[in-house]
Amino acid sequence: MHFLPFFSFDSWNLLSTLILVFAVQAFCFIFASVFQTDKLTDFAYGMTFVLLASIFLLQAGENTLSWILCSCIILWGLRLSGYLFVRILKIGKDERFDGRRENFWRFAFFWIFQAIVIWVILLPVIVAVQSSAQPGVLSYAGVAVFLFGLVYETIADAQKFQFRNRPENKGKWIESGLWKYSRYPNYFGEVVLWWGVFLIAIPALSAAAWFTIAGPICITFILLKVSGIPLLEEGHKKRYGKNPAWLAYAKRTSTLFPWFPEKQ
């Protein structure tokens, strides 16, 4: 017997999971819209993954693959949500939503988009936890990839957080630590860990289930082309675009993939 019949492992699982994701995001959107706050936005993103993974974990029984997958998602989600929540409490608001949180439909579109993204990213997990497959060599390789990405992202976030908390660094950009080798090492870690999750899930994916590769592709595309690097690059150009030191850093430093700075 499953813990929640509504989430039983059948052909409706994808739909029921989508409905739950939308319900959670809708609730958080209403709160954020009424109180005109950014404090729930990123927190709700990570914790929705945690909620879904927790439900699947309660259903996992003795399925080792499900335990590995759900544990990875919960570990990542708790770390990211906690970090982003502390950060937003400190900075007060997220500039990405200036001019958007005040517009009901623009703000609503963001939350709808976030719900879809969460569901798509989770596709490999949603499908894999329905299987009785056991972890294979690729799964354990995926765990290693996931842990590498998680640790890399965590270190990058910690370095930037500490840098910004020093008064003497106000108005400056970080180019030390992992940020010396790429301008967005946190995003590099994020992309890597989700491809690790997909590798973990592979033994449970039949030929028809390979559509779930849309999950890691989705997060990679969003960070590279949509709301990750493009938005931050635009902000950096406005803030530092006329600063020769910033232009030199941007020119010599890899955008995402860590590499040694170019000699100038």
What pLDDT shows up at residue 264?
Answer: 67
pTM attached to this predicted model: 0.91
* Region for 61 from its dihedrals, namely left if φ exceeds 0, alpha if ψ lies in -120 to 50, beta otherwise: left
Cβ atoms of 154 and 189 within 8 Å: the answer is: yes
- Which pair of tokens denotes residue 228? 């990750």
For 59, 121, 156, 212, 257, the CA distances from 135, given in Å and listed in that order, are 17, 20, 30, 17, 29
What pLDDT shows up at residue 83?
Answer: 94
Cβ atoms of 70 and 38 within 8 Å: the answer is: no
What pLDDT shows up at residue 168?
Answer: 94
Mean pLDDT by groups of 10 residues along the chain of 264 residues: 39 81 96 90 95 92 94 97 90 77 90 97 94 94 98 97 93 95 98 98 90 97 94 90 93 96 82
